[in-house]
Amino acid sequence: MRHDGHTRNSDALVALGKLLQEKAYCFTTVTPATHARVVAHKGRSPAPDLEGIFGWSRAFQPDRFADVTHMLGQAGELRLEGDLARSGVRFSTIGEQIFVHSAYPTDAPDSVFFGPDTYRFARVIKKFLTDGKPSPTRIIDLGCGTGAGGIYAASLISEDRPELVLVDINEKALRYAAVNCALNGAQQTTTLILSDLLSSVDGQADLIISNPPYLIDADARAYRHGGEKGFDLSLRIADESLDRLNPGGRLILYTGSPVIKGEDQFRAAVARLFKARSQPFSYEEIDPDVFGEELDTPNYRHVDRIAAVSVVADLQ
């Protein structure tokens, strides 16, 4: 596996992830708003188990979890808080797969996010990779984050594993993606590339997938901010990906769209783009109401709702 970027102490994170796998660790990550409520209900007592440490990001007693404490220290992900400690990473699962990502709360500009969108993205991928179309031999996951989308997509293909290219502009994302490839048996067929979308990526692909940030984030954090309209980055991905698909190739884009006065803003924009390129596509509203708390912010005061949507385009 080639990684065109900096990784640090990744072996310790792989060892930690394998330890969790051996212990049948399982955790489904919720929205930040739900997470805050659940943690408030649990109070300030130390985490009693691995789910508390690596799922709910609660402080724990280092001497009670000595092996975990040692591995987190080796990985540079141990945060000391007086007599307690806290993990700088979380682990979430999709089925039998496990993925490392940033701990809650994800306030840092280079945070690597995993949450309900990841699960919805996986369902969209499964739907369109099991519809009878020939299996792709090269997959590119743009803005891969944890790499969950690409790793999950590759795992659905029963033949020899396809070449997987995981691309992100965030070095920490690529570090975690490399760990996740190792944890999920994808390291031998994967290339990780530090790139602004496809600018540093060579070649064509049979399948391009992406779950880009789609919010208007006041702090312009890379994992949340999708541009001035929220969907600017998604529109750019839709446009640039078409030129990198092999004949018969497919784009699967999962993103979000502001709905204003009943009109899905991204749908209108992508329809204009694809019409100009004579490119057919399918569009589906996956969830009618996500990130509702954003409607309280100045950028969304005029928005009725934010919808999670999918765009699928098959190159002729």
Domain count for the chain:
2
Close Cβ partners of 220 (under 8 Å, ≥ 6 residues apart): none
Whether the CB-CB separation of 145 and 122 falls below 8 Å is answered with no
Q: Read off the tokens for 86.
A: 């806290």
Same domain, 45 and 140: no
Residues 120 and 89 in one domain: no
The reply to whether 163 and 61 lie within a common domain is no
Boundary-marking domain end, from 69, 102, 135? 102
Closest CA to 35 of 144, 110, 147, 113: 113
**CA pair distance 154, 264, nearest whole angstrom:** 31
239 burial type by CB count under 10 A (0-12 exposed, 13-18 middle, 19+ buried): middle
- Angle formed at CA 12 by CA 9 and CA 16, multiple of 5 degrees: 145
* 107 in any annotated domain: no
> Minimal CA–CA distance to 283: which of 257, 260, 306?
257
**Other C-beta atoms within 10 Å of 260: how many?**
14
CA angle (305, 118, 240) in 5-degree steps = 80
Q: What whole-number distance in Å separates Cα of residue 97 and Cα of residue 203?
A: 29
**80 — phi, psi (to 5°)?**
-90, 135
Please give the pLDDT value at position 126: 96
Q: How far apart are CA 135 and CA 82, in angstroms?
A: 52
CA gap 241, 243 in Å, rounded? 5
Residue 7 C-beta-side C-alpha neighbours within 13 Å: 21
pLDDT(5) > 80: no
> What pLDDT band is residue 3 in, cutting at 50, 70 and 90?
very low
Of the three residues 53, 69, 102, the one that is the final residue of a domain is 102
- The verdict on 264 and 215 lying in the same domain is yes
Classify residue 39: in a domain, yes or no: yes
Average pLDDT over every residue of 127-142: 92
**Residues 62 and 121 grouped into a single domain:** no
More confident residue, 218 or 260: 260
**Joined tokens for residue 145:** 């984050």
State how far the Cα of 87 lies from the Cα of 80, in Å rounded to an integer. 9
Q: How confident is residue 2, by pLDDT bands cut at 50, 70 and 90?
A: very low
Please write the tens of the pLDDT for every residue from 46-95: 999 999 999 999 999 999 999 999 999 999 999 999 999 999 999 999 99
Phi, psi of 200 (to 5 degrees): -110, 15
Per-residue pLDDT of 272-300, as tens digits, reads 999 999 999 999 999 999 999 999 999 99
Is position 55 within any domain?
yes
> Tokens representing 228?
């001035």
Taking each helix axis from N to C terminus, what angle separates 148-155 and 116-129, rounded to the nearest 10 degrees?
A: 30
Q: Within this chain, do residues 134 and 43 fall inside the same structural domain, yes or no?
A: no
Per-residue confidence (pLDDT) for residue 316, from 0 to 100: 83
- pLDDT category, 133, cuts 50, 70, 90? confident
Q: What are phi and psi of 65, to 5 degrees?
A: -125, 60
Residue ranges making up the domain that contains 52: 8-102
Whether residue 111 is contained in a domain is answered as no
- Each residue's pLDDT tens digit, 226-240: 999 999 999 999 999
Domain boundary among 77, 102, 127: 102
Q: Domain of 289: which CATH number?
A: 3.40.50.150
